Chains A and B, each alone.
Chain A
């Protein structure tokens, strides 16, 4: 069993419990459709051959289309196809955080963050009137933060070796390369973009950081097994420590 912490913080006036409930509902709905850990999810039914993709809900078909587009965008390094069926978690997490953020914006909130399992969408400012201060966890010691970045209207996602069980899947099987990298954090225009590219770039191993470097407006911080980090050229503009 994999557990993922979820944190939602909203700053503003007139915040009601229902505003959090709507975020919860979006995640719960995503779970009902996409969780491979649930026998009754749509994705599990597809994987068992009970329904075809064409019979699936518009949401599921839409996210599978996003996954296919991402596969093309990443030269095949992002791939939800597994020997035992489809596993869309690598794209669903960022997508559902992004959908929840859109809903909070529709409700008029400008200052908030939403975090699921270390992937974050940060909008506006914190209660102190500053950009959100986001720490990056030491992949060798979860008690430590090894970097602090300031974000407003950005998404950030980290892929790491611990996730590789199912989430990070290397379709090209060059595992020796990927195993040298223990963590890759990506900052992008939103958490959906950051998450899908972090997932794909992590599967590329050491050259993943070069992939992020080439993406306009994306920055990355890659840590190898020796504890040495490689930074994209624009990373420092987000960094405060």
Chain B
């Protein structure tokens, strides 16, 4: 089985500049055991090579009340084994009829969860190349207490 790997950078929208064109042998790609990507031969440096552990302390933490457009949201996070095991909404927009209707329409049955760093080997990453702000508002304040 042969495998080849190409990596380049697209500049200015998708104007393409070849940064690197790599060939690898039959086994040199795809076997890295470190968390994160296994793209050790991938010269694209914008993709992370490690995933830090969460490091949260066990317990239940209540975040501050945050404005959620149609009303307030307050989140309670339970940490067990250093990981988020539960997120409860203590306060949820329901003070007005419009809010109640909007909520029942907007979130009929879709599951919600707090995002959480994963330690896993992956072949490739989907997502942004730039960062936005840090965690804010209710959930982040709860997690700050836990760390």
Contact = CB atoms under 8 A, between A and B. Distances in A.
Interface string B26-61: 010110000011010010101110111000000000
Interface of A: 1-15, 17, 19-20, 23-24, 27-28, 30-31, 34-38, 89, 92-93, 96, 113, 115-120, 122, 126-128, 132-148, 156-158, 160-163, 176-177, 180, 182-183, 185, 206-207, 209-210, 213, 223, 225-233, 240-241
Contact of B114 (A137, A145, A156, A229): A229
B115 A227 contact: yes
A8 B4 CA distance: 8
Given A119-B126, A136-B126, A142-B129, 13 more contacts: A3-B12, A12-B3, A127-B29, A133-B121, A137-B128, A144-B52, A156-B126, A158-B127, A210-B106, A226-B135, A227-B114, A233-B110, A241-B120
Given A120-B124, A135-B125, A161 B14 contact: no
B15 interface: yes
Contact of A147 (B11, B27, B118): B118
Interface of B: 1-16, 18, 21, 23, 27, 29-30, 36-37, 39, 42, 44, 46-48, 50-52, 66, 68-69, 73, 75, 87, 106-107, 109-118, 120-140
A6 B50 CA distance: 20
B11 A3 contact: yes
A210 B118 CA distance: 26
A160 B130 CA distance: 9
B126 A92 contact: no
A225 B109 CA distance: 20
B37 A135 contact: yes
A113 B124 contact: yes
> Which 3 pairs of residues, A with B, have the shortest CB-CB distance?
A137-B127, A37-B12, A135-B122
